[in-house]
Each structure stands twice: as structure tokens, then as C-alpha cells.
Chains A and B, each alone.
Chain A
Amino acid sequence: MSTHERQLEPRSTTGEQIEPRDMSDRPPRPQVSAEPSPAPVSAARPPVPPLAVARPEPAREVSVEGLRAFYGASETLKGIDLKFERNQVTAIIGPSGCGKSTLIRCINRMHEEISHARARGRVLLDGVDVYGETVDVVAVRRLIGMVFQRPNPFPTMSIYDNVAAGLRLTGRRRDLDRRVEQALRDAGLWEEVSDRLSAPGIGLSGGQQQRLCIARSLAVEPEVLLMDEPCSALDPIATLRIEELIAQLKQRVTIVIVTHNMQQAARVADRTAFMLDGRLVEVGPTQEIFTNPRDSRTEEYVTGKFG
């Protein structure tokens, strides 16, 4: 344990925990540790102001080091080193099968939900390895939310219950109404659904469903939001709304978005990473990747020569 800690935790002396910051407007964040997360207690908590303004404290950063991922014997990620800056949108582009989705699924450890899938290497959330041996995978996923390719609202639940699900199922039942409203506002869906919160979530349109799923993710107040081609099942107008949303959300969370659509990457991302065949080819400011890439393969891809 101690060797492990020294190796993985050069700057921490308090064990593999991510210390919750002092916050007056939110309950303590869940800690990335094997212990059960502390109950949200702070009796004299002032009401939360709307989140229209940027939060004072920055979100967390994620850095991937030497990440390799496997499905059975085949190696999908062949050693990725990549840093996702806090409060920035990083797009991951690349042709189908290059490992984009696998990469972000390794960040919140969804990769291991597939049988015979495993990962090696490190994924550091503010310096703490989410694959550390004392780390609880459930705690990791509370801090690193995910939005999937196809909207997946829970079919038995109403709009309200869908958004409240993460809070309820992780034991945070206080102040539900306010949190649900806030999450729906943050996801830009409140105006459209405030009069029918008890209607089933699957009754919404595709774009609304996807924003509902974003609201569901935001409700548990993640630090990082992973988006796996969130617009691939949506029409252009719904896509535009999600993209506007991403631009706002980066004030609160670090965003990693996988996309097939290079225009989308150019529109929403501060930084863009280009992957090919399980390897990172290059990463840099989006502008640079699209106009002045260092690698010829990147140039060929972004100019549409292949992919």
C-alpha cells in the first residue's frame, strides 16, 4: 500500500483521496475512496444562487498516462498519454474503430463493464489514479459523468424521476425539487418540460431526451463530463442546442467529447486530439489541429482524405 502510494501519489501525503473543497453552495463532494461517501450534512446551508455565473472554483483535470485497453486479446488502446485541461472542452476525433470511445470509457471505468475488457495504465483525476487500488469505482463515476451516443432515459421513470435518479440512488434525497430544477435549467430543458415533469422521459423528442440525459448527469454534480458522440442520433437543430450547452457547461465541468463530426469539434472544442488505430497522433488547440497540424496524418484526416 505505501509503496503503491508513493509511486502513484508523489504529491499527496493523505492517502488516495480527493479532498473535497470548501463549498458554501454545495454538499461535500463524494470522495474517491473505498469508504462510503459521507452523508451530505451542512444544516445551515444558504440557498444556491442560479448557476448562470461561472463557479469560482475550477473543475478537475484529467490526465491519462500510458493507457492501454484490451478487449480479450485485441489491444484497442496502445498507450495513450493525454491531458484534459480543467474547464476546457477537449474533442477526440478519429476514424471509426480508432479507440475514441474506448478512451473515454476508460476514464470513468465504464470500459471494465464489458466482459473480457480490461485496461492498464493510469487515469489521474487531479493527480489521483482512478485505477488506484483503494479507489471505489462508484465514487469515480460520481465525479466523472457520462452522456452516451443514444439518449438513454430510464423508461419507467418520469422526467423528474430521471433527473432525480442519480441523486436518489446515491442517497442524496435532500432538496430534490431544487436540484432537479437546477439540473434541467443547466441542461436548457427546463422551459420545455417544467409543466410536465411527471410525464414519462421517453415521451420527449430525441434532442430533448439527450438534454434530459445531460440534466441527469449534471444533477449529481460531476467534475468531469464525458460525452460519447452525444449528437450522432440527433438532427441539426437539436445538435446545435447541445453544442450551445457544451459551451456553457465548461464553466462548471471539464468536458471530453468524442465526435465523428469534425465541424462539431471545430465549433465546440478548445483543444482537439486526433487518434488513429489506438494511438494518439496529436493534440493541440483546435484551431491549430484544423489549420496547421504537425502530423501529415492529421492533416489528411481533417481535410477529408480518409476516415
Chain B
Amino acid sequence: MPHTTAGPSAGGMPILTGDARLRRRRLLNRAMELTASLAALIAVAVLAIVVGSVVIEGASAVSLDFLIHNAAPFGQSGGGIANAIVGTAILVALATAMAVPVGVLIGIHTAEFAAPRTAATVRLALDILNGVPTIVIGIFVFGLLVAGKAQSGWAGAFGLAIIMLPIVARSAHEVLSLVPKALKEGGLALGVSRWRMVLRIVLPTAAGGLITGALLSVARAAGETAPLLFTSSIFANEVSTNPSNALASIPFKIFLLAEETSPSAHAEAWAAALLLIVFVLLANVIARVLYARTSGRIRRAQ
């Protein structure tokens, strides 16, 4: 029979302490709360364990030599990943130069110029692009730029740029949308064309947030392996700065080292992983700080 909690129950139980059913609900509530908290704890723990194990395994192999030398000749121990560090820096720099201007322009389009429906379509396309497996992007770039020609840093950077593009564009859209309408109207009301208003009023106001998006995409691209697999993986064991050749990269170097049999190679793989993870964490922290500053400024402007 239906049990009401609105009035006194049949047993004359005091209304405020609740009956058995209410107690059961309260217990269930507690239990679910705990489970959810536990799940959240797992997320933190996974990050801590990954970072911790990389630090423990990699710290012993990181040294100045490791950073500034190339791999030792076959059969000898020692050496380092200088070529991979330089290669990743160049690949990511080129990819950033390709993706950030285009991505910010896309964000400007969706946030400032496009009709709401168009903007929604573009944003959907960006989300889908963001979800395309990176190996597919690798194959695509291989077919477009490498097949029949040679691997190159340009091709690798192009693949990374495709991965960065939706991240930059989406974050640019979000942060440009935060800029108060009152500022935009203030500019337009002066007889400034929309484009100049965006360029000189909206973009500077949102600058920190735009840099945040760029940094997050850089952090993501620096760790990507799959787009480089077919496009920039056959590289010389020396520092190269010419993107017309295939360039070494830290993620791909980790892959190669892990495939080797010697324990020292594995230690180097851990060390390279440590380097990569430190870079990614730093980029994320800087991005957050910048974002906090920008959104603070935007809030004050309101």
C-alpha cells in the first residue's frame, strides 16, 4: 500500500525523524555519494600513478647528456634524444603556425559573424573533427602529402595541425563569446567596422583565453604519435632542423625505444616520457593561469 511521508505514519512514528523507508533512502543517498566520490578519486589517482611511475622510472635516466646528445651508435650504450627534442619543437611550432591563425579565425567566425545556425553547424563539424581517430588523420596526410613523395616534417606538422585546429577553434569561440556585448556595441557605435572592432577590441580583451586554447592544443599535439607514424618517422639519428626531411619526435622516439630489447633503451623511453609529461603538465598549468586572468578581466569589464 502506498506509504505517505506527508502525515504521521500508521505506527505513530514522529514525523521529523522519518520512518524505515526514509532511513533506507538516506542510506542509499550516502552510498551513492560515496561511490561517486570514489570514482572521482580514481581519476585523480590514475593521473598520480601515471605521472608518479613516469617520474620514478624516468628520473634516473634523465641527464644533461640525455638531453643534448643523439642516440649512441648501434651496440653502444648512452646517448640521448636531442634530435627528438629539436624535431618535436619544430613540428609543433610549424603545426601551431598553421593551426592557430586558422583556428582563431574560425572562432571569430562562429562567435562574431556567423548566423546562429551556421555557427552551430561549424561547431558540430569541429567536434566531429576533434573525435576523428588520429591514425586516420595520419593516413589522410600520408595519402595527401607523402605517398609517391617522401616523408617530411611539413607533412607531420600538417597532421598535428589538423588535430590542433578544433581545439583552438572551439576554445576561441568560447572565450570570444565571453566578451561582453556591451564592449562590442561600444566599438560598433563609434562607427568602427565589425572586423576592426573584433581585431582591436574583442581580441585584446580575450587574448589570454586565446593563448590558453593555443597552449592546450600545443600540449596535445606535442604528445601525438599516430599522425607522425606515416609522415615523419624515418629520420636520421642527428639533429635536423629542415622540415623538408622527416623530423624526429619525442613520442615516436618513445615508441622506438620501447620496441628495443635492452633495459637501457627502456630506461631512455621512460626518460623521454618524463620529458614529454613535464612539458604537457607545464603547458596545462600555464594555460589555466592565463585563462583565470583573462576571465577575471572580462568579468571586471562587465
Contact = CB atoms under 8 A, between A and B. Distances in A.
B223 to A, nearest CB: 33
Given A154-B201, A202-B301, A146 B189 contact: yes
Most chain A Cβ neighbours within 10 Å, of B180, B188, B189, B192: B189
Given A115-B115, A202-B300, A148 B186 contact: yes
A139 B193 CA distance: 9
Contact of B193 (A138, A202, A216): A138
Most chain A Cβ neighbours within 10 Å, of B187, B188, B191, B207: B191
B8 interface: no
A220 B298 CA distance: 26
A139 B191 CA distance: 6
A216 B205 contact: no
A169 B297 contact: no
Interface residues of A, number: 30
Nearest to B194: A138
A145 B187 CA distance: 11
A138 B192 contact: yes
Interface string A160-190: 0000011011100000000000000000000
A150 B180 CA distance: 12
A216 B188 CA distance: 12
Interface in A62-105: none
A152 B180 contact: yes
Contacts of A13: none
B117 to A, nearest CB: 10
Contacts of B201: 154, 156, 165
A202 B297 CA distance: 10
A142 B201 CA distance: 17
Nearest to B193: A138
Contacts of B145: none
B300 A169 contact: no
B43 interface: no
B183 A113 contact: no
Contacts of A213: 186
B24 interface: no
A110 B197 contact: no
Interface in A232-281: none
Nearest to B180: A152
Contacts of B197: 169
Contact of B187 (A30, A154, A155, A202): A154
A148 B182 contact: yes
B173 to A, nearest CB: 16
A110 B192 contact: no
Given A155-B183, A169-B200, A108 B205 contact: no
Contact of A110 (B189, B200, B297, B301): B189
B300 A155 contact: yes
A223 B46 CA distance: 65
Contact of A155 (B116, B185, B191, B205): B205
A170 B298 contact: no
Contacts of A150: 182
Contact of B190 (A115, A202, A220): A220
Given A115-B116, A170-B192, A165 B187 contact: yes
A168 B187 CA distance: 12
A119 B93 CA distance: 48
B191 A141 contact: yes
Contacts of B301: 152, 155, 202
A165 B190 contact: yes
B49 to A, nearest CB: 43
Contact of B191 (A113, A115, A138, A168): A138
B191 A166 contact: yes
Interface in A95-135: 108, 110, 113, 115
Interface in B145-187: 180, 182-187
A8 B235 CA distance: 72
Given A154-B205, A155-B301, A170 B187 contact: no
A170 B197 CA distance: 10
Contacts of A30: 191
A217 interface: yes
B185 to A, nearest CB: 6
Contacts of A139: 191
Interface of A: 30, 108, 110, 113, 115, 138-143, 145-146, 148, 150, 152-156, 165-166, 168-170, 202, 213, 216-217, 220
Given A115-B115, A148-B182, 20 more contacts: A30-B191, A110-B189, A113-B185, A139-B191, A141-B190, A141-B191, A145-B189, A154-B183, A155-B205, A155-B300, A156-B205, A165-B187, A165-B192, A165-B201, A169-B187, A169-B196, A169-B197, A216-B190, A217-B190, A220-B190
21 contacts: A30-B191, A113-B184, A113-B185, A113-B188, A141-B189, A141-B191, A142-B190, A142-B191, A145-B189, A146-B189, A148-B185, A152-B182, A152-B186, A154-B187, A155-B183, A156-B205, A165-B201, A166-B190, A202-B301, A216-B190, A220-B191
7 closest A-B pairs by beta carbon, nearest first, are A142-B191, A166-B190, A155-B301, A146-B189, A141-B191, A156-B204, A152-B182
